[in-house]
Structure formats: structure tokens, C-alpha cells
Amino acid sequence: MTRRRALGALAGLAAAGVALLAEWRAGLLTTLTEKLAPRPDSASLVGRLSGRALDNVVAFGESLVEGRVLSGAERMFLLEHVEYRAANTPGYRALYEVTSHRLDELTGRRFAALSIDDRIAVLSAHRLDAYNVRRREYLVPFGRRDLAIRSLVARDLVDGYYRSPAGWLAVGYSAFPGRCGELTRYTRAESS
């Protein structure tokens, strides 16, 4: 074997080793962040929320989804989502209670009583409106309660709202999927 060929083989082995090490580290990081990601406590009880907690959580969702006071029907969809989740999904009743307490703690009074602009300002100042959590944030050992609120509660409220007829209307659909919007639309070709 020539010297040039030996050096080429050694460089190839080194590159393969670096690639394997990078892949191993990425896999290790993924595994670690999956283990550290907040999860609802599946052993906690389900049930109805207190009135204060329900009002605060719905006000939190209202501030996240539209950034304005929702109409009665729009708010009802969000309220129904929160009530259903608390009563049927283990862990969410406790998460909603923690969220309500944290929002009151940040404002020094009842969060739901604040104006919509004040609510949005509080959420923005404490990053509770940033529900798109990055994996590396799971590695930070402090602020776990706010991280759980952002990654679980805020995301759940946004998802719940935009899966409702009000959310579909907000993104431009005139009829909720599965419900007939206009009969003639289904009996002839659409015009462009």
C-alpha cells in the first residue's frame, strides 16, 4: 500500500468516526430532551375546574389565539375545550390549576380581570405566549413550571381553539369540515 493510499484510508476512517460521533450525540440529545420534556401527570385526577381557574385559563387562551376579546360563540368553543380536557384527560386539570395560579401570581390579582392588552403584555413579558418550545429549552433546569405552561397548556389551548368552527373561520373557511356549507357547491363544478 502506498503512503498516499494509506493517508486517504486514514482520513476516510477519521471522517466516518466523526460522522458516527455526531450521529450518536444527536441521538443522545434527542433521547435526553424526550425524557426531560414536561408531561401531564397521568396519575392526577380529572374533574371540573374551579370557577376562577376556568376563567383564568380561558382568558389565557383568548389572549393567545386571537389577541382580542372573543365573541360569545368563539369563547364558548374555548371554554368547552378546557372543560372537556380537564374532565377527561388525566393531568390537564392539574396543569390548568397550576397555570391559573401562575397567572394570578404574575399579575398580583385575578388574571381574567385584566384588560386584553394587559393580559397580552404579561404573557409577552414572561414568554408564556411562546408555545413553540425548542428542544434545547428542555435541558434548562429552572423555569420548569413556565416551560410546562408554554409547551402543554398554551399549545393545547391554541390547538383546541383552531380545531373548532371558530378557529376554522378565523383561518378563512366558511364551513367547518364535515358540515355542509352550500349545497350547490357539491352538485356542480366550482368556478375559478
Q: How far apart are CA 70 and CA 66, in angstroms?
A: 8
Exposure string (b/e) for 164-185, b if CB count within 10 Å is 16 or more? bebbbeeeeeeeeeeeeeeeee
Mean pLDDT of 72-79: 88
DSSP codes joined into one string, 12-40: HHHHHHHHHHHHHHHHHHHHHHHHHS---
pTM above 0.85, yes or no: no
pLDDT in tens, 54-71: 999 999 999 998 888 888
Distance, CA of 90 to chain centre: 17
- Asked whether 95 and 40 are in contact (CB, 8 A), the reply is yes
Give the mean pLDDT of 25-37: 71
**Helices of type H across 89-132:** 92-107, 116-125
Q: Which residues contact 185 (CB under 8 A, 6 or more apart)?
A: none
- Residue pLDDT, tens place only, 133-177: 888 787 788 888 998 999 999 999 988 888 877 766 666 666 555
168: Cβ contacts below 8 Å, ≥ 6 apart: 162, 175, 176, 177
